[in-house]
Amino acid sequence: MNPAVLIASVYVFALAAFLGYQVISRVPPLLHTPLMSATNAISGISLIGSLVLAGAVHYPLFAHILGFVAVTTATINVVGGFGITDRMLKMFLKRKPESDPAQKAVAK
């Protein structure tokens, strides 16, 4: 890694940290569990690193196998994480319109 790239990466890291602090401090305690599973799903982006390991040119077989395991676990996080976050968030909205009998009946 040449110094210019390192400096750029540190910039990205610092700005992302700052942005993360700003954005996440606004999340109400009500949504802390969905927040945790959402950020978890998002950090499943390490899937893209795993994909390269599992299938790119000039990589030995053992790397491909490690990549395969990593792709599997990262995909579990992405699919499971987004799925379950959505399931939770739907629950928070279920009874929003207080006077919607049809929706209430379905929810029950």
Partner 1 sequence: MSVATYFMEATYLIASILFVLALRGMSHPETARRGMFLAEGGMFAAIVGTLVGAHIVTWIWIIAGLSIGSIIGAWMAIWVPMTAMPQRTALSHAFGALAAALVGVGEFLVHASEMTAVTRGALGFEVMLGALTTTGSLIAAGKLQGIIHGKPIQFRGQNIVNLLIALSMVSSFVYFWIHPEIVAAFYTMLGLAFVFGVMLVIPIGSADMPVVMSLLNSYAGLAAAATGFVLQNNVLIIAGTLDGFSGFILSVLMCKAMNRSITNVLFGGFGAVIAEATSNAGGVMREISLDDAAMQLAFASRVVFVPGYGLATAQAQHAVRELAELLEGRGVTVKYAIHPVAGRMPGHMNVLLAEANVPYSSLYEMEQINPEFPSTDVAVVIGANDVVNPDARDNPKSIIAGMPILEVDRAKSVIVLKRGQGRGFSGLENPLFFKPCTTMLYGDAKSSLSHLAQAVQHV
15-25 burial code (b ≥16 CB/10 A, e <16): eeeeeeeeeee
45 binds partner 1 (CB under 8 A): yes
State the number of CA atoms in the 13 A half-sphere of 59 facing the CB: 16
Min dist. Cβ of residue 69 to partner 1 (A): 6
CB atoms within 10 A of CB 41: 19
Question: Which amino acid is present at 75?
Answer: T
Min dist. Cβ of residue 41 to partner 1 (A): 7
State the binding string over 74-103 for partner 1 (x if CB under 8 A, else -). xxxxxxxxxxxxxxxxxxxxxxx-x-----
Min dist. Cβ of residue 4 to partner 1 (A): 11
Q: By C-beta, is 102 or 108 nearer to partner 1?
A: 108
52 binds partner 1 (CB under 8 A): yes
4 binds partner 1 (CB under 8 A): no
Q: Tell me the C-alpha distance between 85 and 83, whole Å.
A: 6
7 binds partner 1 (CB under 8 A): no
